[in-house]
Copies of this chain bind each other. A is one copy, B any other.
Amino acid sequence: MIGEIITIGNEIISGETQDLNAWYAAGRLTRAGLRVKRMTMVGDDPEMVTIVLRQAKHSSEFVIVTGGLGSTDDDITNEVVALALERPLCIHQEMLKKIKKIAHKRNIPVTNSLLKMAYMPSGSQLISEKGVACGFYLIEEGVPFYFLPGIPEQMRYLLDNFVLTDILNRFQVKDVRVFKLIRTYGLTEPEIAEAFRKKRALEESVIFGFYPQFPENHITITANGEDSSKVQELVEEAQKEVLGILKEHVFSVDNEELEEVVGRLLKEKGLTLSTAESCTGGLVSHRLTNVAGSSEYYLGGVVAYSNHLKESLLGVTPQTLDTFGAVSMETVKEMAEGIRKITGSDLAVAISGIAGPSGGTKEKPVGTVCLGFSSKDLSEARTYRFFGSRIQVKQNSAAMALDWIRRYLCGYPFLPGV
């Protein structure tokens, strides 16, 4: 089943807002075995909306439209859809009732902003609600059109809880699609491309994709077919091939983030971790604590942005700072040892570098970043050179720090420094 996704909103085509809804919907549809052949974004512009809705009606088997169902004056999707599909706009009694009920429950007045949302194209069926904003669908010449609100949480809820099942039931989809996302860190895209030239020929139905996702590089494997176990087998064979080519640079084959991999490994080994950050400014601890349950193994850390804090909180000696500087292997070693001692953690990682845009010197240009590691059996430091903006240097440094922990826990060597 092949469909398309349409996003309506001036904020999208003017570049003010990123359209994460189409991206999310495309991912969910694809993983459910459906195919998206086009994603289109247009403004709150009756002419363009009419063009894309009519085009979709004639070339797609299902259509998902997001955006413009809210309460502010620029939310005009209902009106425009009524015009484009030539269905009069009328008060939807069920929607009206819902709006009144919610207003009563929250003890807010039924304002005109709320009432506006009850006017819908004739023939619309409500999609189960979450909050005030509500979706609807209608069947236009056999093609189901789903209209969802633009607020990501609401859109995702309605898509996951109604739209996906509705499409799958409606079309009795049988084809199986197996998808595998392999994440790597530490190789450039051309290095991966070259490595892949040596791979064995695999069945044509197995498709590889290569996607730089800064600072990582992702490889996807996809296969389609009616025989589920055959498709599964093909993908597993392809995955084995990729692992053979990229080896320990692969950190995840199960859609895990680097911080989730690190967390899982720490839990498995019953070890705890602490961090001492300078140039990454808390990004490593932020990523670690994005994982639910991270308090089991992550004790905490220090963001020692000033030299004073490197001394007073982490115990880096003034001599080390004076002789080698804040961005040096000697300093990060002492930072890592310091935070491990203070927190009593099993492992510790430390980062100090020049994120830029200023602060670089000839010997230590912007992007120079030192990493330190401390555990009972290992004390190690290396210097790396990263490129790009301030944020990118932070991102690459934080990923490298997480990757060090992963590599230590798996028994792989750290990536070589400069």
Binding site for B on A (CB under 8 A): 10-20, 22-31, 36-43, 45, 48, 52, 70-74, 108, 111-114, 132, 151-153, 179, 181, 189-190, 192-194, 196-197, 207-214, 218, 220, 222, 275, 277, 279-286, 288-290, 292-295, 298-306, 308-309, 312-313, 342-344, 355-358, 388, 390-391, 394
A211 to B290, CA, bound (A): 25
User: In the docked arrangement, what's the CA distance between A326 and B66, Å?
Assistant: 42
Q: Which residues of B contact A303 (CB under 8 A)?
A: 275, 282, 285, 289, 300-303
CB–CB A38/B42 < 8 A: yes
Contacts of A42 in B (CB 8 A): 37-39
- Find the B residue at minimum CB distance from A25: B15
Ordered by A's residue number, 26 sampled pairs between the chains whose C-beta atoms are within 8 Å are A10-B207, A11-B220, A12-B39, A15-B31, A16-B30, A18-B20, A19-B19, A37-B45, A38-B40, A40-B40, A70-B193, A72-B189, A72-B192, A72-B196, A74-B210, A108-B190, A111-B194, A112-B197, A277-B282, A280-B289, A282-B283, A299-B309, A300-B303, A300-B313, A302-B303, A303-B303
**Contact for A218 among B16, B214, B312, CB less than 8 A:** B16
* Tally of this chain's copies: 2
What separation, in Å, do the CA atoms of A211 and B285 have in the docked complex?
30
Partner of A288, one of B70, B281, B285: B281
**B residues within 8 A CB of A209?**
10-11, 14, 16, 74
| Neighbouring B residues of A43 by C-beta, 8 Å | 37
Asked whether A15 lies within 8 Å of B36 as measured between CB atoms, the reply is yes
A339 smallest CB distance to B (angstroms): 10
From B31, B153, B284, B394, give the contact of A290 (CB < 8 A): B394
A286 touches which of B283, B306, B312, B356 (Cβ 8 Å)? B283
Q: Which residue of B lies closest to A48 (CB)?
A: B37
Q: Report which residue of A10, A108, A284, A309 has the largest number of chain B beta carbons within 10 angstroms of its beta carbon.
A: A309
Q: Is A14 in contact with B41, judged by CB distance below 8 angstroms?
A: no
| Alpha-carbon separation in the docked complex, A39 to B39 (Å) | 8
A70 touches B189 (CB 8 A): yes
Q: Which residues on the B side are within 8 Å of A207 (C-beta)? A: 10, 74
Alpha-carbon distance A211/B292, docked complex (angstroms) = 29
Contacts of A281 in B (CB 8 A): 282, 285-286, 288-290, 294
Contact (Cβ within 8 A) A13 B39? yes
Chain B nearest CB: distance from A120 CB in Å?
Answer: 19
- Judge whether B18 and A211 touch: CB under 8 Å: no
Q: Which residues of B lie under 8 Å from residue A275 when comparing CB positions?
A: 303
- Taking a contact as CB atoms closer than 8 A, the residue among B208, B301, B343, B391 that contacts A282 in the complex is B301
Report A65 CB to chain B, min CB distance, Å: 14
Partner of A196, one of B10, B41, B73, B356: B73
- A208, B295: Cβ atoms closer than 8 Å: no
Chain B residues contacting A114 (CB-CB under 8 Å) are: 190
Given A301-B302, A302-B302, 19 new contacts (CB under 8 A): A13-B37, A14-B30, A14-B36, A14-B220, A39-B40, A39-B41, A71-B190, A72-B193, A111-B194, A114-B190, A152-B214, A153-B388, A281-B285, A282-B282, A282-B283, A299-B306, A300-B304, A301-B303, A306-B343
